[in-house]
Amino acid sequence: SRLMMEKPTPFSERRQEVPEAKEPWQPLGRSLNPSLYLQVELLQNNLRQLTCLLILQAQLS
């Protein structure tokens, strides 16, 4: 993939991306390992959904 071919961003430039990202590690993670980055995104979404379900269940019981 094209991501793998790119040279790593110098650290000073990389730090400037962080404020726009949802999580500080995301710009770095995306360039290092795109598939792992996607897996983490999915895990985060699953955790959010599970948390919501648990809260709902606690309110109902």
CA distances, 54 to each of 25, 44, 60 (Å): 27, 15, 10
- The span from the first CA to the last CA of the chain, in angstroms, equals 49
| Owning domain of residue 46 | 2-60
CA distances from 28 to 18, 24, 33, 57 (A): 9, 8, 9, 37
- Predicted local distance difference test score (pLDDT) of residue 18: 46
> How many distinct structural domains can be found in the chain?
1
Query: Average pLDDT in the 7-26 region?
Result: 54
Cβ contacts of 16 within 8 Å, gap of 6 or more: none
pLDDT for the residue numbered 33: 74
The predicted model scores a pTM of 0.42
